[in-house]
């Protein structure tokens, strides 16, 4: 999985994301974040969800940035290396959260991320996925078309995912859709609960 520089977007989108997530996760005990990047959302979770054990993870090839970024955050556990196609941390987790990762993973890795989430979540646990998607029921914003083309020019395995395909994948892994929120900059925040 190639990483697109997500520092500015992570800082920009953390407020609207957590405005939606905080009410859902205020009673959560353990949350697993996939693809935490520079730890912007993990650090923000400390302010919004101080009682939650927020476990940030990143692909093994990119652990150095995350480890360094969270070194001065003693209230956060040490980040964990996670390749979603391999072994996962032991659960159960109340939620799995991933922001802006589905479009930089190959589709088999997206499938592995959803299946892995189903394995480590507690019953009723939430899978929260944020990012841009193609929606067969709506015209695609020009900025999302351009972003998709940029991603595919860097790696043909990357690109925006079909909202309908992601919903089908979630359903196949035992998830029921709870929320599908339109977010700033033509993004969506999708939340499913494990049945």
For residue 7, the model assigns a pLDDT of: 55
For residue 1, being part of any structural domain is answered with no
Who has greater pLDDT, 69 or 1?
69
Q: Are strands 121-131 and 93-99 parallel, antiparallel or unpaired?
A: parallel
DSSP 8-state symbol, 113: H
For residue 32, being part of any structural domain is answered with yes
Residue 177 has pLDDT above 90, yes or no: yes
Are the C-beta atoms of 101 and 57 separated by less than 8 Å? no
> Domain residues for 37?
7-194
What's the gap between Cα 178 and its chain centre?
Answer: 16
For residue 2, being part of any structural domain is answered with no
- Count of structural domains within the chain: 1
Are the C-beta atoms of 92 and 101 separated by less than 8 Å? no
SS3 6: coil
Are the C-beta atoms of 2 and 154 separated by less than 8 Å? yes
Q: Which helix (H) or strand (E) is 172 found in, with range?
A: helix 163-172
Q: Sorting pLDDT into bands at 50, 70 and 90, what band is 6?
A: low
Cα(45)–Cα(65) distance, integer angstroms: 18
Cα(42)–Cα(65) distance, integer angstroms: 13
Q: What is the CATH number of the domain that holds 38?
A: 3.40.50.150
For residue 176, being part of any structural domain is answered with yes
Q: Are strands 175-183 and 187-194 parallel, antiparallel or unpaired?
A: antiparallel
For residue 182, the model assigns a pLDDT of: 94
Angle (CA) 43-47-51 rounded to 5° is 100
Cα(39)–Cα(42) distance, integer angstroms: 5
For residue 126, the model assigns a pLDDT of: 98
Of 8-12, 78-82, 133-137, 189-193, which range is least confident? 8-12
For residue 149, the model assigns a pLDDT of: 95
For residue 9, the model assigns a pLDDT of: 64
For residue 1, the model assigns a pLDDT of: 44
For residue 174, being part of any structural domain is answered with yes
């Amino acid at each position: 999985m190639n990483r697109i520089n997500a520092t500015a977007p992570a800082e920009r989108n953390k407020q609207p994301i957590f405005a939606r997530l905080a009410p859902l996760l205020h009673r959560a005990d353990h949350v697993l974040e996939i693809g935490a990047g520079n730890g912007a959302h993990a650090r923000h979770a400390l302010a919004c969800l101080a009682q939650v054990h927020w476990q940030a993870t990143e692909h093994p090839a990119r652990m150095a940035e995350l480890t360094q970024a969270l070194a001065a955050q003693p209230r956060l556990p040490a980040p964990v290396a996670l390749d979603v196609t391999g072994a996962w941390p032991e659960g159960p987790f109340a939620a799995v959260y991933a922001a802006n990762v589905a479009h930089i993973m190959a589709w088999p890795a997206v499938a592995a991320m959803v299946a892995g989430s189903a394995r480590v979540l507690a019953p009723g646990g939430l899978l929260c996925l944020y990012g841009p998607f193609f929606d067969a029921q709506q015209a695609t914003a020009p900025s999302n078309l351009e972003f998709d083309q940029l991603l595919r020019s860097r790696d043909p395995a990357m690109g925006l995912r079909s909202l309908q395909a992601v919903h089908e994948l979630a359903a196949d892994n035992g998830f029921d859709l709870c929320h599908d929120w339109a977010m700033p900059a033509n993004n969506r925040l999708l939340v499913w609960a494990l049945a």
